[in-house]
A and B are shown apart, each in its own frame.
Chain A
């Protein structure tokens, strides 16, 4: 028997993640041209939104947002969005349909870990690229400059990581519905459509009709984009705002984690009953 038993569970776990991330990174390296195109796609949406709001704000601030405010906001959106992308539902759907789930279910590591490693390996370099582009842009374009505040930036990083975790679990859990239906990816797209408004992608949440923004507060959407972005842009200032934001993130992280566990357990059982 292999001396795997002589190593602590954490050591094994760490090795598994290290190798999973390495494999994912090497594959991404092979697809770097395609990834560059995905990056372009990722930034064009906020740029277009910024273009429109820039024109609208030509005559003065819109509900407190000047042109510069919009520019900082949408650069923030580009960065946070890149760090919180969710594509796993499409993979899960394909794996279940094409029988590639089987070998993932017969090896001693739950399939979600491969997905987490894949996400980290993809998002760390690409988000860094966006961040670099932002830094370079701020050299030539004062509008997008953000004051250097290490405390604020650290909190922003924490918020971004939490946002990424929430959106990952949300996408993964919804994607697991593929155990039951072929329309799981459509559900993810539906959520994505709603998130355009409710998470602040089209516009800062304060510009939404009050009733819509109010609805958003009860869902997880603001916590996966708007909250981290507003930390970066300085819209979040008081400790009360920070507390409510982080509390909201923690709650929704717990909720989606629980939902994932439920769907995963049920889904496994369903798969074991009726196959693929």
Chain B
């Protein structure tokens, strides 16, 4: 319990520090917000284009797909706020030796690396994404039950966990492939597929995105909760996948770190 409290204190310190730093760059905030809005509009136009030629994508109607798009944007916002500046910076720190400074601190290295840098302005992307989802949800005309809302919250948290686990896994490989600077690009490439419901893809790709590169669990599942497609079994599976992903990535991290420290860095 004490470790948890301490972690919370450190987390709050990171938040305040990053907030103070970012406050100086208000101009960047406007620029990045405009950028996000632009890409969101482009994404919605893309979906509109698809729906010019079909009434449904994988069984999902137009507004259902927009709900999912909003969730995608919110998750992308989490990536830009926490993951890319934090653990995404690992390859650079390994190469420059800055990681060693982290390892001597009395805090868990993975925790420290993950949260010490935050791009706080990008939280606007998360808010924007959820707002788009909310708007689209209203347009679907469905009613929602308390259970479904809770299921959404839980599956959204699972989605964040899965995305985080994917980042940890990718970045752990930075310990082996020190020369590779664009590991994050692998995530960006594959995450694009999460813009659409997994049922919209043909069989082979669907298999890939559910079982091999588990991005189906990132956007499709939370969106399913809001669009009446989630059943308790699926929700439980999602939770299990989330926990398993966190565990597996943590294991890989520890193996990688052990190798790094025993090799002398």
Where the two chains meet, the residues of A that have a C-beta atom closer than 8 Å to any C-beta of B are: 30-31, 33-34, 37-38, 40-41, 44-45, 47-48, 51-52, 54-56, 62-63, 183, 186, 189-190, 193, 196-197, 202-203, 207-209
Shortest CB–CB separation between residue A126 and chain B, in angstroms? 14
* Pairwise interchain contact B180-A34, C-beta atoms closer than 8 A: yes
Residue of B31, B50, B183, B195 touching A37 (CB-CB under 8 A): B183
Q: Which 5 residue pairs of A and B lie closest in terms of their CB atoms, listed nearest first? A: A41-B189, A44-B189, A51-B201, A56-B54, A33-B180
Please report which residues of chain B, range 115-157, place their CB below 8 angstroms from some CB of chain A when the two chains form the complex: none
B49 touches which of A31, A41, A197 (Cβ 8 Å): A197
Q: Which chain A residue lies CB-closest to B191?
A: A44
Q: Is the interface of B mostly helix, strand, loop or mixed?
A: helix
Q: Mark B223-257, 1 if CB is under 8 A from A, else 0.
A: 00000000000000000000000000000000000
Tell me, in angstroms, the Cα distance from A40 to B57 when the chains sit together: 25
Docked Cα-Cα span, A252 to B202, in Å, equals 38
Residue from B45, B183, B192 within 8 A of A48 (CB atoms):
B192
How many angstroms from the CA of A195 to the CA of B91 in the assembled complex? Answer: 32
**Given B42, B182, B193, which contacts A34 in the complex, CB threshold below 8 Å?**
B182
* Cα distance A186–B192 in the bound complex, in angstroms: 20
CB-defined contacts of A45 to chain B, threshold 8 Å: 189, 192
Q: Which residues of B approach A to under 8 Å, CB–CB?
A: 31, 35, 38-39, 42, 45-46, 49-50, 52-54, 57-58, 177, 179-183, 185-186, 188-190, 192-193, 195-196, 200-202, 205
Contact indicator A37/B180 (Cβ below 8 Å)? yes
- For residue A221, give the distance in angstroms from its CB to the closest CB of chain B: 14
- List 29 A–B pairs whose Cβ atoms lie within 8 Å, in order of A's numbering: A31-B181, A33-B177, A33-B180, A34-B179, A34-B180, A34-B181, A37-B183, A41-B185, A41-B189, A44-B189, A47-B205, A48-B196, A51-B201, A51-B205, A52-B57, A52-B201, A55-B200, A55-B201, A55-B202, A56-B50, A56-B53, A63-B53, A186-B35, A193-B42, A196-B42, A203-B49, A207-B49, A207-B52, A208-B49
CB-CB nearest in chain A for B209: A51
| A51–B202 CB distance below 8 A | yes
Given contacts A52-B57, A55-B201, contact A202 B38 (CB under 8 A): no
CB pair A54 B57 closer than 8 Å: no
- Within the complex, which residue of B53, B57, B180, B185 is in contact with A62, where a contact is CB–CB below 8 Å? B53
A189 to B35, CA, bound (A): 9
* 13 extra A-B contacts, CB within 8 A, seeds A47-B205, A183-B31: A33-B179, A34-B179, A37-B180, A41-B189, A52-B200, A54-B202, A55-B58, A55-B200, A189-B35, A197-B49, A203-B49, A207-B49, A207-B53
Please give the distance in Å from B72's CB to the nearest CB on chain A.
Answer: 13
**Cβ contact within 8 Å between A40 and B42:** no
**Bound Cα distance from A51 to B50, whole angstroms:** 12
User: What distance in Å separates the Cβ of A261 from its nearest Cβ neighbour in chain B?
Assistant: 29
Q: In the complex, how many angstroms separate the beta carbon of B97 from the nearest chain A beta carbon? A: 20
Select from chain B the residue with minimum beta-carbon distance to A209: B52
Q: Do A37 and B53 touch across chains, with their CB atoms under 8 A apart?
A: no
> Considering the chains assembled together, what is the distance between the CA atoms of A62 and B52 in angstroms?
10
Say how far A59's CB is from chain B's closest CB, in angstroms: 8
With a cutoff of 8 Å between Cβ atoms, the chain A residues found around residue B182 in the complex are 34, 37-38
CB-defined contacts of B42 to chain A, threshold 8 Å: 193, 196-197
Q: Give the chain B neighbours of A44 by CB distance below 8 A.
A: 189-190, 192-193
Cβ-closest chain A residue relative to B28: A182
Q: How far is the CA of A203 from the CA of B53 in the complex (A)?
A: 11
Give the residues in chain B near A63, CB-CB below 8 Å: 53
CB neighbours of B53 from chain A (8 A): 56, 62-63, 207
Which of chain B's residues have a CB closer than 8 A to the CB of A189? Answer: 35
A62 to B50, CA, bound (A): 11
A59 nearest CB neighbor, chain B only? B54
Q: Which residue of A lies closest to B32 (CB)?
A: A186
Closest to B192 in A: A48
B49, chain A: closest CB distance, angstroms: 6
A183 and B190 CA atoms in complex are apart in Å by 28
Q: In angstroms, how far is the closest chain A Cβ from the Cβ of B119? A: 17
Closest to B206 in A: A51
Least Cβ distance of B195 to chain A in Å?
Answer: 8
**Assembled-state Cα–Cα distance A47/B200 (Å):** 13
Give chain B residues whose Cβ lies under 8 Å from the Cβ of A207: 49, 52-53
What residues of chain A lie closer than 8 Å to B50, measured between beta carbons? 52, 56
Indicate if the CB atoms of B181 and A193 lie closer than 8 Å.
Answer: no
Docked complex Cα distance between A54 and B49 (Å): 15
Report Cα–Cα, A54/B200, bound state, in Å.
Answer: 9
Residue from A37, A45, A186, A207 whose CB has the most chain B CB atoms within 10 Å? A37
Contacts of B180 in A (CB 8 A): 33-34, 37
- How many Å lie between the Cα of A261 and that of B183 in the bound state? 37
Q: Is the CB of A193 within 8 A of B39?
A: yes
Nearest Cβ distance between residue A39 and chain B, in whole angstroms? 10
Distance of A227 from chain B, by nearest CB (Å): 20
| Residues in A neighbouring B31, C-beta threshold 8 A | 183, 186
